[in-house]
Amino acid sequence: MQLSTAPTVGRRRRGNPDSQGLLGVLSVCATLLQLCAGCPSECVCNSLEANCSGRSLVSVPALTSLPEGTHTLLLANNRLSSLPVSAFANLSTLETLDLSNNYLDNLPSRLFRELSNLSDLSLRNNSLTVLDRELFRGLTLLRRLDLSLNGLAAVPLGLLDELQGLTWLSLAGNRLHALERATFEPLVNLQHLELGMNPWECDCNLRDFKHWMEWLIYRGGYVDAVECTLPKDLRGRDIRGVPVEMFNYCLQLEDENGGGAGSTKGGSPPCFRGTAAPSSEGAVVRTEAELPDCVKQRYRPVSVRRAIGTVVIAGVVCGIVCIMMVAAAAYGCIYASLMAKYQRELKKRQPLMGDAEAEGDQEEKQISSVA
Ligand SMILES: *[C@@H]1O[C@H](CO)[C@@H](O)[C@H](O)[C@H]1NC(C)=O
Ligand SMILES: *[C@@H]1O[C@H](CO)[C@@H](O)[C@H](O)[C@H]1NC(C)=O
Ligand SMILES: *[C@@H]1O[C@H](CO)[C@@H](O)[C@H](O)[C@H]1NC(C)=O
Ligand SMILES: *[C@@H]1O[C@H](CO)[C@@H](O)[C@H](O)[C@H]1NC(C)=O
């Protein structure tokens, strides 16, 4: 009995640690599985952050089963060149999405549609040349948007309409030469704007945007350097330091073109013709002293024309008034001399009837007959 029970007890005693260990391993595996079940093998998931950076990925890994509540997804430093429209579907908890340093050249317009909680989006250093104006629709909580180091040639009107929460925006290092004020007006909370390293053309197309930028700075915002590439007179100068008067000719151009200046190329910049011919690179940077003359040359013809117009109109009006006055004076003189003549003749004909009343009656009759 003792012999038979001892081994079973022994076995049981020996078996308990084994099964406990097995259970322990199983439970550790289960918890590990729970934690990393949804984490794609290409990524490292760590407390609601999925890091898939620097893995030479050419396509987005399956993200549908990311740990629930994941708020950060890092896909930087890969080789992504395109994304399917559903790449980020069902990731409404995402707050940070980093797609920087990839080769993305075109994004589906509905790509970010479900990321309603997104607050930080980086598309820095990709190959984007155009953006669909619907791309950022619904990202009302976005606070930070990095579009620097791409090939953007324009920011479409309407692109930023719903980004009222945006405080930080970079468009540095693109191919922008002009921006429209209306595109940026919805960004009422913007505090920081980067526009450097773009080939800005400081002509009439940029005038309204310059005004908007000055308003942004006035209400405490920051804008980095906006250096003009064209016209040559202004190359290398910061547009914020170019006086508003330099853009007055835009209004005059609008006047001359019947207000349709915006549809044409925005007009040539000040003194463009005068300085375009000598294109030696040494003469590119102009001294400040040259600029006012340059402006005056541009303004003179129009102001002279206006002055001449004023003089001509004033002359015509004066002439008409003068002619009317001369005519009135002549009429008065002729009338007075006629009256004098009649009175002299009356006195000659009736020298003895010098009664004042009779003379007055006579006079009245004469006047009425003359009239
Ligand atoms: C993400 O992973 C990459 C490579 O594995 C690493 O270099 C980087 O520091 C990680 N980033 C974060 C925020 O953990
Ligand atoms: C998103 O979730 C819904 C249900 O919640 C599911 O039917 C759909 O297939 C999911 N879409 C993707 C792309 O995972
Ligand atoms: C959005 O983010 C906030 C905190 O930043 C969080 O409380 C909320 O649950 C999130 N909403 C969704 C749908 O994930
Ligand atoms: C931009 O990305 C490429 C590869 O995608 C990388 O080689 C390069 O160093 C990045 N440039 C910057 C300025 O980050």
| For ligand 2, mutation pick of 60, 63, 64 (most atoms within 8 Å of CB) | 64
pLDDT at 108: 94
- Closest residue (by CA) to atom 11 of ligand 1? 51
- Closest residue (by CA) to atom 7 of ligand 4? 101
- Closest residue (by CA) to atom 1 of ligand 3? 117
CA of 90, closest atom in ligand 2: 1
In 107-252, DSSP assigns E strands to 120-122, 144-146, 168-170, 192-194, 200-201, 222-223, 228-230
Q: Where are the domains of the chain?
A: 45-247, 301-334
Distance of CA 92 from the midpoint of ligand 3 (Å): 8
211 has pLDDT over 50: yes
pLDDT at 343: 81
36 has pLDDT over 50: no
pLDDT at 326: 82
pLDDT at 33: 45
322 has pLDDT over 60: yes
Instruction: Give the tens place of pLDDT for each residue, 180-199.
Output: 999 999 999 999 999 999 99
pTM for the full predicted model = 0.65
- Rounded Cα distance, 217 and 221, in Å: 5
268 has pLDDT over 50: no
222-223/168-170 β-pairing: unpaired
pLDDT at 213: 92
pLDDT at 270: 44
Mean pLDDT of the chain: 76
> Which amino acid, residue 7?
P
pLDDT at 247: 75
Question: Which of 89-93, 113-117, 246-250 shows the lowest per-residue confidence on average (mean pLDDT)?
Answer: 246-250
pLDDT at 193: 96
- Rounded Cα distance, 170 and 186, in Å: 16
Q: Quick check: CB of 54 below 6 Å from ligand 1?
A: yes
3-state SS assignment for residue 355: coil
| Percent of the chain predicted with pLDDT > 90 | 42
Asked if 55 and 42 touch (Cβ cutoff 8 Å), the reply is yes
pLDDT at 225: 83
pLDDT at 18: 52
CATH T-level assignment (fold) for domain 45-247? 3.80.10
Instruction: Give the tens place of pLDDT for each residue, 286-299.
Output: 444 344 343 434 44
120 has pLDDT over 70: yes
CB neighbour class for 164 (10 Å; exposed up to 12, middle 13-18, buried from 19): middle
- Closest residue (by CA) to atom 11 of ligand 3? 93
- 101 contact partners, CB below 8 Å, separation of at least 6: 76, 77, 78, 124, 125, 126
Higher-confidence residue of 303 and 282: namely 303
pLDDT at 296: 39
Distance of CA 142 from the midpoint of ligand 3 (Å): 13
pLDDT at 8: 40
30 has pLDDT over 80: no
Tell me the average pLDDT across 49-69: 89
Q: Which ligand is nearest to the CA of 81?
A: 4
CA of 116, closest atom in ligand 3: 13
Confidence of residue 279 (pLDDT cuts 50, 70, 90): very low
pLDDT at 176: 95
Question: Which of 133-142, 165-174, 219-228, 347-356 shows the lowest per-residue confidence on average (mean pLDDT)?
Answer: 347-356
Q: Quick check: CB of 122 below 6 Å from ligand 4?
A: no
Asked if 126 and 150 touch (Cβ cutoff 8 Å), the reply is yes
